[in-house]
Structure 1
Amino acid sequence: MDGDIFDPDGAREKLAAWKGRIDKLAADTHTMSTRLQETRVTAADPSGLVEVTIDSTGALVGLELTSRMESTKPDVVSQTIMRTLAEAKNKLADRSQEIIAETVGTETPAARAIAESVENRLRSEPGQDTPDADPGSEDDYENRSFLEKG
């Protein structure tokens, strides 16, 4: 027989191996999807003014403001919330990349496409989508809380 044509037993073995790989990929993909959907990330700003929690889509699901908010200008509070939200999304992007690598790996084009999609949807570069002012900078002394002054 020609070496390029499988005998029936060889063909069954190849199909069984292929099916095993497909079944494993399906199970790994399901595990990845479940873990990604269950992921939540919490981030707090360094000054202790704000803590945000986001779900797997990056949507805000929790916001904690400390009593320090009462003595802080509203624009500083909003900037801090936005900056902390961006930090949480970056943490979520990192965690999502870990989950993808742990479950489906990073070798296949499909896995790389999923990882890239998650990265593009969540990742925020420093300063992107956040106000420029830093509530702790010396240049913004007047907008800082009395707790941060002096």
Structure 2
Amino acid sequence: MDSITYRTGDQARLGGVDVTLSLTPAQSAALGIDLDTLTDWFDTALWALTLLRTGANDRNTDTDSAPTEATAAMLYTVINDLDLRLLPRLQGLRDAAIRQHATLGGSLGQLAHAMDVTKSTAQSRRKAVLEGRDRPSRWEQWATKNRPQEG
């Protein structure tokens, strides 16, 4: 079963594309209140790409109105959502995945392949997560909801 579906053209709500992410009840429960905000920030990331690629904002306009030029105020929202909110959480998620990969016996070769880097780079990154600071960061703890870490 696909967890992502697309509706395009006339079938899409705004005529472009609707993307639907489907979660199981257990996945939804695990995400809890974070689901709404994460979805909003992922949406901001896609919106930011369109702003940067086109220089225009066609949100908040009706179908008869022309897109408006991108503004610094719009980019404030982009920067705030991505830099302050989403990136730290994604970094914590990545670090938690690296830590769990090591806990489960994942090899440096596997980690290097997953990261598309050399083994020495993977080793350095894993070492930074496992030994580089006082145990899981705030955002790594957020990613695991303070689930006890083995090892």
TM-score by length of 2: 0.32
TM-score by length of 1: 0.32
- Bigger radius of gyration, 1 or 2? 1
